[in-house]
Structure 1
Amino acid sequence: MSLAARVAARLGLPIGELEPLPGGHSGLTYTTKAGVHQYVVKAVPPGQKPVGRNDILRQARILRALAGSRVPVPGVIAVDEQAPAWFAMEFAEGEAIEPVLDAHTLAPELAGSRMLEAARVLRNLHEVAPPPEAPIGAAGELERWTRTMHAVPAELRPGAEDLLKRLADVPGDLPPVLVHGDFRLGNVLFAGDRASAVVDWEIWSVGDPRVDLGWFLLFADHRNFPALGTPVPGLPTESELLHAYQGKHAVPEMRWFRALSRMKMAAIMGHNLRRHREGKHHDPDQERLPPTIAAMIRTATDLLA
């Protein structure tokens, strides 16, 4: 039975065509209509194992756990565990724009208010009781991304070894929370200045809240992305976003987590550039990445100097 037939049978309604949803998504992501309602369907690609980013059922599980919380998420409508697994969720209205990286016509004032609102949404997320999973501490995060960095050819990651030595002085962990893993405006849908849904839960985990926070702050300044970023006047500073997140409560050791986020970004970009140059994923746009990779490593090192 085709995926479309399985979805229609589970919903108990005839559906329209499954149309691929544009944008970067793991697994297979489609939109479809059933009567007046629109849904998003995520499925494990045929022939692939439901692990990592393709663990569709794990994504559905966290979305259901967040239903009714102060974190806006699409409602899960149906789940089918039969291989290849899939689930259907509500189509959340809104737009996801990363102001300093995406081409857009968003007014700077609206971009700024969205960033402040996203900081408050992130705080709400970290106040949700985490699921019963083994937490990944700061040391575990560092180990994971060090492996990714070491898989990048040395000539593509200048200064990385010095940075990794500095990151070895790992701070103690804060109490574990639910971590999105890629929290930024590009993964939050907005209707005006109101967050309508946090999406793309492929790499959620339980861990230190500063992992999410450091990553979110990275996207506050276009200068973090040489040759890629675009200036947006009037965006909140990292300090203003921190205040929107923390209120009166200080968040300790943020310099280390800001440096870790830069190392992660350099490792991800280096990995993508290597795959392009090896012919595994042809994308000439990846050739724009070296200045940002170098800047991420350099500024992370400066933070820990």
Structure 2
Amino acid sequence: MSTATEATELAARVRAQLSVRHPGEPFGNLRTLPGGHSGLTYAITAGTTSYVVKAVPPGQRPVGRNDVLRQARVLNMLAGSPVPVPQVAAVDEHEPAWFAMEFVAGEAVEPVLDEHRLDPGLCRTRMLALADVLRDLHGTETEPVAEPPLDPVGELERWTRTMRAVPHELRPGAEKLLDALATRVPSATPPVLTHGDFRLGNVLCRGERPAAVVDWEIWAVGDPRIDLAWFLLFADHRNFPRLGCPVPGLPGERELLAAYLDGRPEPPALDWFRALARTKMAAIMGHNLRRHREGKHHDPDQERLPPTIAAMIRTARDILAPRP
């Protein structure tokens, strides 16, 4: 079956489901949205209402980032909670599965990484507001999830495998870092709902406020420090040599942490998770650079990554180093 035929069939299924909400209203074409890294992402209009549709790619299994029904599930779990998310409008479990959610207008900008002209004061306000959203997310009661909780041991095992798939010359000092992490793995804390990639780049904002947290492909129930340390990593452009852009007045890690805690005590062993976050970033960047150099995904911009990979590994080791 051709790609065009599959898209036509998907469009017919989407229109049939959404027509219940929009009887007699005209539908637009199903348009591919660029930039997605999981599943297939489309836009469609019904009358004056816009929707985003996420679908399993034809011929692929609905697992991992392609499990769009799992993404719909977490959005439904969060509906009506203090965590802003798009509303799910329709779900179709027949293969290839898909779901439709409301289109939320807003801008998703990572202040220290993306090219932008936003006012630094606005970036600061958004980042502090997002700390409140993360706290609300971690405080949300969830339905039972038939998956093992994401804990420090499992996270370290996963990212150790990813790091070791990167050639040695692209990850200087990584083995010593992995050894240091492995010798002091902290005990897990009670699991909560986690996003997995929580940062401003995955949040649509309107003005000063977050309008919708998006990109839920790797959500889990697990240790909240995994989410928290990842969020803190994006507070400082100096974490990303040759990539980051200085934005004056942004809250640093300590100020962001204080906003998230809101008077509660700091969680134990947070430095281990801060080092793990840097390990994860180094592994992700090393993987992307390796794919580029092997010709699997041509992107010359990946050649800017080596200084940041080295800095992530170096600063992670510094965080774990014994203090006098």
The TM-score with structure 1 as length reference comes to: 0.98
Question: Which residue does 1:4 correspond to in 2?
Answer: 11
Deviation at 1:224, TM superposition (A): 0.3
1:80 aligns with 2:92: yes
Letter in 1 for 2:219: W
Partners of 1:298 and 1:24 in 2: how far apart?
Answer: 31
The more displaced of 166-175 and 197-206 is 166-175
- Deviations 1:108-156 (Å, cap 9, x if unpaired)? 0000000000010000000001332321111110101111001111111
Letter in 2 for 1:5: A
Would the aligned equivalents of 2:77 and 2:142 in 1 still touch at CA under 8 Å?
Answer: no
Deviation at 1:18, TM superposition (A): 1.7
1:114 aligns with 2:126: yes
Which of residues 237, 242, 251 is equivalent to 1:236? 251
Question: Which residue does 2:5 correspond to in 1?
Answer: none
Partners of 1:244 and 1:20 in 2: how far apart?
Answer: 38
Quote the sequence identity (%). Answer: 71
Partners of 1:165 and 1:57 in 2: how far apart?
Answer: 37
Would the aligned equivalents of 1:263 and 1:300 in 2 still touch at CA under 8 Å?
Answer: yes
Which of residues 28, 31, 39 is equivalent to 2:43? 31
Deviation at 1:43, TM superposition (A): 0.4
Deviation at 1:22, TM superposition (A): 3.1
Would the aligned equivalents of 1:135 and 1:205 in 2 still touch at CA under 8 Å?
Answer: yes
Deviation at 1:67, TM superposition (A): 0.2
The more displaced of 293-302 and 247-256 is 247-256
The TM-score with structure 2 as length reference comes to: 0.92
Which of residues 130, 155, 158 is equivalent to 1:141? 155
Partners of 1:41 and 1:19 in 2: how far apart?
Answer: 9
Report the count of equivalent residues: 305
The CA RMSD over aligned residues, in Å, is 1.0
Deviation at 1:166, TM superposition (A): 0.7
Partners of 2:218 and 2:109 in 1: how far apart?
Answer: 20
Partners of 2:200 and 2:162 in 1: how far apart?
Answer: 24
Would the aligned equivalents of 1:130 and 1:176 in 2 still touch at CA under 8 Å?
Answer: no
Partners of 2:125 and 2:36 in 1: how far apart?
Answer: 25
Letter in 1 for 2:236: D
Partners of 2:82 and 2:191 in 1: how far apart?
Answer: 18
Question: Which residue does 1:261 correspond to in 2?
Answer: 277
- Deviations 1:254-290 (Å, cap 9, x if unpaired)? 1110000000000000001111111111111111111
Question: Which residue does 2:77 correspond to in 1?
Answer: 65
Letter in 2 for 1:2: E
Letter in 1 for 2:101: M
The more displaced of 6-15 and 93-102 is 6-15
Partners of 2:130 and 2:36 in 1: how far apart?
Answer: 20
Partners of 2:43 and 2:115 in 1: how far apart?
Answer: 23
Where structure 2 has 5 or more consecutive residues not aligned to the other structure, the ranges are: 1-7
Letter in 2 for 1:152: V
Rg comparison, structure with higher value: 2
Which of residues 207, 213, 224 is equivalent to 1:198? 213
Where structure 1 has 5 or more consecutive residues not aligned to the other structure, the ranges are: none
Would the aligned equivalents of 2:229 and 2:274 in 1 still touch at CA under 8 Å?
Answer: yes
Alignment partner of 2:159: what SS? helix
Alignment partner of 1:92: what SS? coil
Would the aligned equivalents of 1:25 and 1:200 in 2 still touch at CA under 8 Å?
Answer: no
Would the aligned equivalents of 2:54 and 2:98 in 1 still touch at CA under 8 Å?
Answer: yes
Alignment partner of 1:2: what SS? helix
Question: Which residue does 2:165 correspond to in 1?
Answer: 151
Partners of 2:74 and 2:98 in 1: how far apart?
Answer: 14
Alignment partner of 2:196: what SS? coil
Alignment partner of 2:308: what SS? helix
